[in-house]
Amino acid sequence: MSKSALITGVTGQDGSYLAEWLLGQGYRVYGLVRRSSSPNVDRIRHLLDKITLIPGDLLDDNSLVKALEQSAADEVYNLAAQSFVATSWNQPIFTAEVTGVGVARLLEAIRKVNPKIRMFQASSSEQYGAARTTPQNEETPFHPRSPYAVAKAYAHYITINYRESYGLFACCGISFNHESPRRGLEFVTRKITHAAARIKLGLQSELKLGNLRAVRDWGFAGDYVRGMWSMLQQPQAEEFVFATGECHSVEELVATAFEHAGLDWKQHVVTEASLLRPADVEHLRGDATKAREKLGWRPATPFQQLVHKMVDADLQQVRAEMLAGAARG
């Protein structure tokens, strides 16, 4: 009998790539989806006849118990979160409830339904925040700089605590930023590649950004989900960092994307004070040596290739939307 996996956050960027990967590995794949007033399955539309969606929410304990029972999951990948850092200052309590305490609810449900379930928790490089050492690895202390990062730090430690308290196979993958054409439009990479496409096609002329000096270690989401799966195939549960080890500033990202679209970014980008964060993370670079040595994990997509791929996908998508609009009259 094939293994069963439950993905929370299956409608998100990572959830869609992980579902594809697990189907390719022969899993029965279940995805937890929260109720919305209109369909929210754009990223997994192509998978809908291959996976089973189960209604539920990290805010609702009972729905998690039911989802674990219905899926008879061997593995649970907790990717669900309020994942946008900027929103976490406007909604700190909600972010703590979903991104932080939601993980405790899931761990309790696992304990109740089947403590043999293996669980992956999506930890974040944001937890390092104002890290004092570079690059960051599994031993680097956390100094979270946003309500989101604080909630993720709680989620991280409660996962380890349930492993140590109850012997659960539960572990955290600490991922640095990973992107794709399926990235939400509010995150800086996609905001930039989508704007470059719209400017190129004459639909807008200006792009407003915040902190151009911020530096991130950006990789491709499709590479990172392989690492998540590998962690749950190990003989013991432990933490791993996933990162490229290469870092670039937001300004470099804009220049790379606009150049690929045949544009001069300086003619279009303006900085806007309202987009600056109350406390930003200025510089992140990860050290994924442990993942490379123990899991054989390596990111396969260099920065420039990633940015070009996102710009090309956005050009294609915006053109298709223009054609559809013209056809509708």
Answer whether 101's CB lies under 8 Å from 81's CB. Answer: no
The least CB distance from residue 122 to ligand G4F, in Å, is 8
Query: Between 34 and 73, how does the x/- string for binding to ligand G4F read (CB under 6 A)?
Result: ----------------------------------------
CB of 16 to ligand NAP, least distance (A): 8
Contacts of 221 (CB under 8 A, 6+ apart): 13, 14, 17, 178, 179, 180, 182, 183
Q: Distance from first CA to last CA of the chain, Å, rounded?
A: 52
* 9 φ/ψ sector (left φ>0, alpha ψ -120 to 50, else beta): left
From the candidates 17, 27, 128, 148, which is the catalytic residue? 148
- Confirm or reject binding of residue 63 to ligand NAP (CB under 6 A): no
Contact status: 239 vs ligand NAP (CB under 6 A): no
Among residues 75, 94, 91, the alpha carbon closest in space to that of 18 is found at 75
**Contact letters (x/-) for ligand NAP, 34-53, by CB under 6 A?**
x-x---x-------------
Q: Residue 245 CA to chain centroid, in angstroms?
A: 18
- The verdict on 83 binding ligand G4F (CB under 6 A) reads yes
Nearest-angstrom CA–CA distance, 97 and 151: 8
Residue from 12, 100, 147, 286 touching ligand NAP (CB under 6 A): that is 12
The answer to whether 157 is a known catalytic residue is no
Q: What is the DSSP letter of 79?
A: -
**Shortest separation between residue 178's beta carbon and ligand NAP, angstroms:** 4
Which one of ligand NAP, ligand G4F, none is in contact with 63 (Cβ closer than 5 to 8 A by kind)? none
Q: Considering the complex, what minimum distance in angstroms separates the CB of residue 3 from ligand NAP? A: 21
Q: According to CB under 6 A, which residues from 273 to 292 bind ligand G4F?
A: 275, 277, 280-281
Residue of 4, 63, 124, 146 marked active site: 124
Task: Report d(CA 46, CA 111) in Å as an integer.
Answer: 33
85 part of the interface to ligand G4F, by CB under 6 A: yes
Tell the smallest beta-carbon distance from residue 236 to ligand G4F (Å): 25
Distance CA(152)–CA(329), nearest Å, equals 47
- Tell me the sheet residues that pair with 8: 32, 78
Which residue out of 75, 83, 125, 126 is catalytically annotated? 126
- Has 124 been annotated as catalytic? yes
Comparing CB distances to ligand NAP, the nearer of 16 and 256 is 16
Residues linked to residue 52 through DSSP beta bridges, in sequence order: 30
**Position 257 contacts ligand G4F (CB under 6 A):** no
Report how far residue 16's alpha carbon sits from residue 47's, in angstroms, rounded to the nearest whole number.
8
When binding is defined by CB under 6 A, the residue of 83, 137, 140, 159 that contacts ligand NAP is: 83
Buried b (16+ CB within 10 A) or exposed e, 259-272: bbbebebeebbeee
C-alpha closest to that of 181 among 301, 278, 97: 301
Instruction: Quote the CA–CA distance of 113 and 236 in Å, as a whole number.
Output: 21
Binding residues vs ligand G4F (CB under 6 A): 83, 85-86, 124-126, 176-177, 186-188, 191, 209-211, 214, 216, 250, 275, 277, 280-281
Binding residues vs ligand NAP (CB under 6 A): 8-9, 11-15, 32, 34, 36, 40, 57-59, 79-83, 98, 122, 124, 175, 177-178, 184
Catalytic residue numbers read: 124, 126, 148
